Amino acid sequence: MAHVVCFVLKPGVNRERIRAVAARAGLALANRIEGDGSRLSYEEAWAMPDRMTAVNYVEDPIVNLAYLVFRGENIDDLIGKLIPELPAFTHREALDMAKTGQTRNDQVRALYRIAVMFPEYNAEAFEVMREYSTKAQDPVLREAAVDAMVYRCWPEFIGLLEHIERNDPDKNVRQRASEILPHVRAANPSS
């Protein structure tokens, strides 16, 4: 069964370093999307010779993060070749940073890291999103948590977004939940 694993890269990793590490790992550039630096991500898709395993390098201007998305039947070897050479946040670090962030910017970045790094439902990641979206005193943090939910559209977010849409004290947060809810529902037609 093919699966997806994502890693947010730490600051300092650039395209040239990605290309060098990918070449040493035996990957070939399969596609490049230039993006626009504003709304559309820059992306490079690198594939193994059998084209069954690949990694995408993404510079996402919306969340201001660079990350790797590993896809394929057997990605463990590829992760083992690339991640030791490319400093990336672990999933544990991402979760802990959301709990320990001191500034609003630290906390928002932590929420976006979690959104990127957990393509499949994770109870601890969900709890972080729930806490920020319903209990943060700062409406900007609540709204950032709501925005982060659309990255993964887990069906578990539907009830949470409905609650926020009805009950958040801030009009902007309620409106954002209302805008995101149809996307999450559309991604989960049986929910």
Domain of 37 in residue numbering reads as: 3-85
Same domain, 95 and 183: yes
Query: What's the whole-model pTM score?
Result: 0.90
Number of residues in the chain: 191
Residues 6+ apart with CB under 8 A from 105: none
Same domain, 51 and 99: no
Same domain, 60 and 106: no
Q: Per-residue pLDDT for the chain (191 aa), expressed as one digit of tens each?
A: 458 899 999 999 999 999 999 999 999 999 999 989 888 999 999 999 888 899 999 999 989 999 999 999 879 999 999 999 999 999 999 999 999 999 999 999 999 999 999 999 999 999 999 999 999 999 999 999 999 999 999 999 999 999 999 999 999 999 999 999 999 999 988 87
Give the Å distances, CA to CA, from 143 to 2, 132, 154, 181, 185.
33, 9, 17, 13, 18
Same domain, 122 and 77: no
Q: Are 157 and 149 in contact (CB under 8 A)?
A: yes
User: Where does residue 151 fall: left (phi above 0), alpha (psi -120 to 50 degrees), or beta otherwise?
Assistant: alpha
Same domain, 183 and 104: yes
Give the Å distances, CA to CA, from 147 to 48, 50, 55, 93, 175.
34, 37, 25, 21, 11
Among 13, 7, 160, residue whose Cα is nearest residue 92: 7
